[in-house]
Structure 1
Amino acid sequence: MNKLQAMEVFVQVVDAGGFTRAAENMQLPKASVSTMIQALEGALAVKLLHRTTRQVSITADGAAYYERCLRILADVREAEESLSRTRLSPAGRLRVEAPTGIAGEVIVPALPDFFARYPDITLDLGCSDRPVDLIEEGVDCAVRGGHLSDSALIARRVGIVHFTTCAAPSYLNKHGRPQHPNELLQHRCVNYFSSKTGKTHEWDFTRAGERLQMPLPGQIALNDANTYMAAGLAGLGIMQMLNFTVLPYVADGRLETLLDDWTTDPFPVHVVYPQNRHLSAKVRVFVEWIAEVFSNHPGLRLKNAPPRPTPLQVAI
C-alpha cells in the first residue's frame, strides 16, 4: 500500500462526504478508493469511517487522523515544490469557478496573458451564478461577488462591482422613464433570484443620505447574468446590471441609463479557497494574477468607484 496515496484518498473521501464523489474528483475507480481505505484501516488497526447505505461519516479516531493527514500532505507538497520547477513554473490542472458576467467580460479576455505566464497550467473554468461547494465539487478556488457567508473558506478581497439602473429604448418608449425610485413600483422590472435560496433580490438606491430598499414588481426573474441581460435588451423591463457590462450597450443605443443621480450598494468581489489545505503554486499564482487583473480594471478596482456609463466615455 502506498501510504501517502492512501492518506490523499482518505482526505478526499472525508472532504467529499462519500466514496463516489471522491473517486470522481480523483479520477479513480470507486472500488480502488474503497480498497485503499480498507487497507489503511487494516494497517492502522483503527476504524476511520462509519459506512451506511446512505452516507459515510468520520469516527473520532478518523477525525484526529484526518487533521494529521492534512499537515503531512501539506508538508510533502511543500517539500516537492521547493525542489522542483513547480515553484518557478506551476503546472497541472486548475479548477476555478466564477460568476458568468465576470468570467465572460473580465477573466476570459485576460487569459492569454495568464497562459503566456504559466503555459504548463491547464484551466477548467466553470461559469455559473450558482453557489458552488468547493470541497464537494473538487474546485480549487472561486471568484465570488457579494457578501460571504461560508466561514470554512479563506477569502481574499480583490475587487468591487457597481451597478447601473437601465432599460432598453423599446421599453422606455412604451412605458416612460421613471424620475424617482418610487416610480419603479408602477413599472415592470427584471428581477434576479438566488440559485441557493430562491429568494428574489431587493433593489436599493441611495442619494444625499436618503436610502431606499424595496422589492419591485416584474413578470420575470432570472438567476444568470447572461439571460438577465438578454431580458433587459428584449424590453422586458428595467434592470440593474454590472456597471462595466452596460457600457457597450449604452454606447450603441441598445440600453439607456436611468436614475443617474442615485447610486446602488456596491458588491465586494473575493477569491476564495478551502482552508486547512496547502495553497499549491498553481492556485497561488492564479489568485495573484486575478488580483492584478481586477486592480487594472476600471470597473472592478477597489479604490475608486468607476464613472457611470455614457456613450461619451466609451468613445474616449
Structure 2
Amino acid sequence: MGLQLFVRGPRSLRLTHDGSQFYQHAVRILEQVEAASAELAGLSETPRGTLTVALPMAFAREIVGPHLARFQAEYPDIRLDLRIGSGQPDLIRDAIDMAVIVGSATDSDLIQQRLINTPLIWIAAPEVATALPESPGPDELASLIGAVETRYGETPVTVVDKNGAVRDIALQGEQVMQVNDPILLREFVCAGGGLSFAPDLYCRAAIRDGSLVQLYPHLQLRQESSLSLLFPGRRLLPKKAQVFMAFLGDICAGMR
C-alpha cells in the first residue's frame, strides 16, 4: 500500500495514524463478515430469535390465534412479536419481518405470496332471513343491506346471477354502516343488523351453529377477499421466517 502502518521500537510495536485508521476499517469489515456468517448459519440451524409479524385483527383472532400455542411448542427458541392492526404496515419503517395483508400490496419492492382467496357470501341472522325476499332484484338487494366492510362501501359491488347476467349494486351511501373489521360486521349481522356480505372464511362457524344463514347462492359476488404474505425482497430468509411462513401456509391450506 506504500504506507507505514506501525513503528517498531526496541521493545514495543505501535500503530501509526495510518495504521490506526486501517485497523479500524479492518475491524468493521471483520464484524460484518462475522455477522453475515452468523446469519447464513441461522438459515440451516435451529430456528431462533425474535420474529416480528404484522397481522390483520380478524385473521389473527379467528384463524391464527388457535394455533399459536402449537407453533411456540414446536419452536421454543423463536420469540414472536405480533403486531395486530388494520391496513398495510410499513415493513421497513417499523422493522417488521413479514406481514399478512388483505388484498394486494402497494409497495412493488416487497415480495407478495398469496395465502388464501375466500369468496364473499350473503349473510343474515335467522330471524332476519325469514323476512327477506327469496329472490330480490339488484336495487331491492341494495336497500336491504344494513352494513358492509369499509373497503366495499365506496364503490358498487358486482353480482352475477345464475344465468350469467352481471349487475353492479350501488350501496345506499350514508344509510349503510361501514365497519373496517369483518368480525365486528359478522357480530352485528348475528344480532339482527340486516343483510350483509362478508368473507366466507369468517362466517363458517356461525353458519354451522345456526347464528347466521347464508342467502342467495344464485347471486354470487364477483369481488372476493384475499390474504397475502408480504416480506422484503431478500434472497435468503432466516430459518425463523421460513418456518413461520410454512406455519401460516399450513393453516390456510386447511381452511380452503
TM-score where L is the length of structure 1: 0.62
8 A Cα contact 1:91 1:122, kept in partner: yes
Aligned residue type for 1:279: L
Tell me, in whole angstroms, the C-alpha distance in 1 between the residues paired with 2:55 and 2:155: 20
Structure with max Cα Rg: 2
Per the TM alignment, residue 165 of structure 1 is displaced from its structure 2 partner at its CA by: 0.8
Give 1:125 shift: 2.0
Is 2:170 the counterpart of 1:212? no
From 144, 156, 169, the equivalent of 2:113 is 156
The structural deviation recorded for 1:227 is 1.6
Residue 32 of structure 1 corresponds to: none
In the other structure, the counterpart of 2:11 is none
CA distance in 1, matches of 2:251, 2:142: 38
User: Which of 239, 243, 249 is the equivalent residue of 2:196?
Assistant: 239
Shift of 1:279: 2.3
Q: Looking at secondary structure, tell me which structure has more strand per residue.
A: 2
For structure 2, the 5+ residue unaligned runs are 1-23
Q: Which residue number corresponds to residue 79 of structure 2?
A: 122
Distance 1:202 1:214 in 2: 5
1:276, distance to aligned residue in structure 2 (A): 5.0
In structure 1, distance between residues paired with 2:153 and 2:143 = 21
- Whether the 8 Å CA contact 1:162–1:266 is kept in 2: the answer is yes
- Could you tell me which amino acid in structure 2 is paired with residue 281 of structure 1? K
| Amino-acid identity (%) | 24
Q: Distance in 2 between matches of 1:262 and 1:138?
A: 43
1:101 Cα deviation after fit = 2.2
Match of residue 207 from structure 2: 250
Higher RCO (C-alpha 8 Å, min separation 6): 2
Aligned residue for 1:94? 51
Contact 1:203 1:214 (8 Å CA) reproduced: yes
Partner SS for 2:76: coil
User: Quick one: distance in 1 between partners of 2:50 and 2:123?
Assistant: 40
Take 2:213 and 2:123, find their aligned partners in 1: how far apart are those partners?
A: 5
Q: How much is the aligned-residue C-alpha RMSD, in angstroms?
A: 2.9
Q: Structure 1 stretches of 5 or more lacking a match?
A: 1-42, 45-68, 299-316
Equivalent residue in structure 2 for 1:271, among 226, 229, 233 = 229
Q: How does 1:1-316 map onto structure 2 within 5 Å?
A: 77-83=35-41, 87-173=44-130, 176-177=132-133, 179-180=135-136, 182=138, 183-194=140-151, 200=154, 202-207=156-161, 208-217=163-172, 218-264=175-221, 265-275=223-233, 279-298=237-256
